[in-house]
Amino acid sequence: MYTRRKFLGAIGMPAVAAAAGVPFAPPRLSRTAAIAEELSRHPGTPAEMAADEEFWFEVARAFTVDRSLINLNNGGVSPSPGWVQEAMKRHLDYSNEAPVYTMWRVLEPQREGVRQRMAREWGIDPEEVALTRNASESLQICQFGYDLKRGDEVLTTNQDYPRMLTTFKQRERREGIVLKTFSIPVPAEDPAQVVAAFEQNITPRTRLILMCHMINLTGQILPVREVVQMARRRGVPVIVDGAHALAHFDFKISDLDCDNYSVSLHKWLFAPHGTGLLYVRRDKIKEIWPLMAATEKMDDDIRKYEEIGTHPAANYLAIGEALTFHQGLGGKRKEARLIYLRDYWARRLVEHDKVRLHTSLRPGAACGIANVEIEGVEPGDLSDWLWREHHIIVTPINHEEFRGLRISPSVYTTLEELNRFIDAMEHVVRYGLPS
């Protein structure tokens, strides 16, 4: 039984406060205790607890979100729980007492504890974990870090993240490499078909592959392990974009057998804004250059990717509280809840003939993100109307092969909020948008 005592003990908040040299008096402890109480009272399976609104109400109370609006774009950047915000503020206040001492000499070394915990949680070596500012920085370290020459080809799908496509397009202009993109089905429900599409597009000039673990446009989960292993047999490294995947659905980075993995921790881990992670397999560190210069003696040290000059300690140390919150929820329980919320609105809307879902609801194909279209309605216009009339935040998607709204609720989202979204969408299905 997961008791309240065990939950509070696992949080370790007194030790965190003591390390920062401040008294332990977190104002949100009562909310933490309430979550712990719910865990002890409802020790059901993840599937059973996914619909336990009493438990998720207590989880929602850990956040400080504005309930006068409905935020269904948690895939962009997520709010942090209150205790994560408080930890960051506490570390920031302490940093400002005498930064050259308090930030550099006291707090900065504690970064190693965060590195160790993150590695442990996702089944990798601490010496393979760099703490970065976001997934874009982590990915660009790899994208610019591999040596390429004129005529070398880089392969990816045409659904990859625009910033990452822009990165390789700049290398095209500057160095004469070739970016090659291809289509995959929407939705893609056969992993073998996706692997085959990558393999069929490899040529003798292919030197690098970029792929998403979860596509930001639709929430589609791609078979990373299978693509990596196929490409490895062909001698082609794979850069893996895990921006939307880590802490969203339950897996270990070690499960993927990949050489690198890039994450934004301010998405589904609910860590402070501007925090990310880069995993690089230990024997691959030396061959990937850092984005900012590091000394030669750091060639095979993962910390060479953190050589960015002066940076805050507070953001990175508060990752620890976000990780503890994630562990308290449990990865499987969190995944089940996000799927439950997705199915709650999606299955209701797809009953209408005018509604198309560009995300598969099959197990393993996606998780909490889905893309929905009302035929004949421009996504941008629909997004504007939802905000103007209902204060609902969504993300319009206009891809060359599909379009719709990206919907991404989170663990603090209530069913009442989803019902309001459903009602608004059904109004447009029946009556269209006002002219």
Which of 369, 356, 366 has its CA nearest to residue 402? Answer: 356
Both 186 and 305 in one domain: the answer is: yes
Q: Do 397 and 426 belong together in one domain?
A: yes
Structure tokens at 330: 């449990």
| CA gyration radius, the chain | 22
State the alpha helices, DSSP H only, in 61-126: 82-95, 99-101, 111-121
Instruction: State both tokens at 155.
Output: 């392969």
The pLDDT value recorded for residue 434 is 87
Task: Examine the domain organization and report whether 346 and 201 are in the same domain.
Answer: no
Residue 345 and residue 255 share a domain: no
On whether residue 53 sits in a domain, the answer given is: no
Question: pTM for this structure?
Answer: 0.90
State the pLDDT at residue 388: 97
In this structure, the answer to whether residues 302 and 336 fall within a common structural domain is no
64 in any annotated domain: no
Query: 378 lies in which domain range?
Result: 332-431
Q: Establish if 101 belongs to a structural domain.
A: no
- Residue 311 and residue 261 share a domain: yes
Q: What are phi and psi of 375, to 5 degrees?
A: -60, 135
pLDDT for 41 equals 61
Per-residue model confidence (pLDDT) at position 16: 37
Give the per-residue pLDDT at 349: 98
**Euclidean distance between the first and the last CA atom of the chain, given in angstroms as a whole number:** 57
Is 97 among the domain residues? no
- Alpha-carbon distance of 73 to 78, in angstroms, equals 8
CATH number of the domain that residue 313 is part of: 3.40.640.10
Per-residue pLDDT of the chain (435 residues; tens, 9 = 90+): 334 444 444 334 443 333 334 333 444 445 555 565 555 565 689 999 999 999 999 999 999 999 999 999 999 999 999 999 999 999 999 999 999 999 999 999 999 999 999 999 999 999 999 999 999 999 999 999 999 999 999 999 999 999 999 999 999 999 999 999 999 999 999 999 999 999 999 999 999 999 999 999 999 999 999 999 999 999 999 999 999 999 999 999 999 999 999 999 999 999 999 999 999 999 999 999 999 999 999 999 999 999 999 999 999 999 999 999 999 999 999 999 999 999 999 999 999 999 999 999 999 999 999 999 999 999 999 999 999 999 999 999 999 999 999 999 999 999 999 999 999 999 999 999 987
Domain ends where: 322, 340, 369? Answer: 322
Pair 163, 291 in one domain: yes
pLDDT value at residue 86 = 97
- Domain total in the chain: 2
Pair (314, 367) in one structural domain: no
Pairing of strands 370-374, 355-357: antiparallel
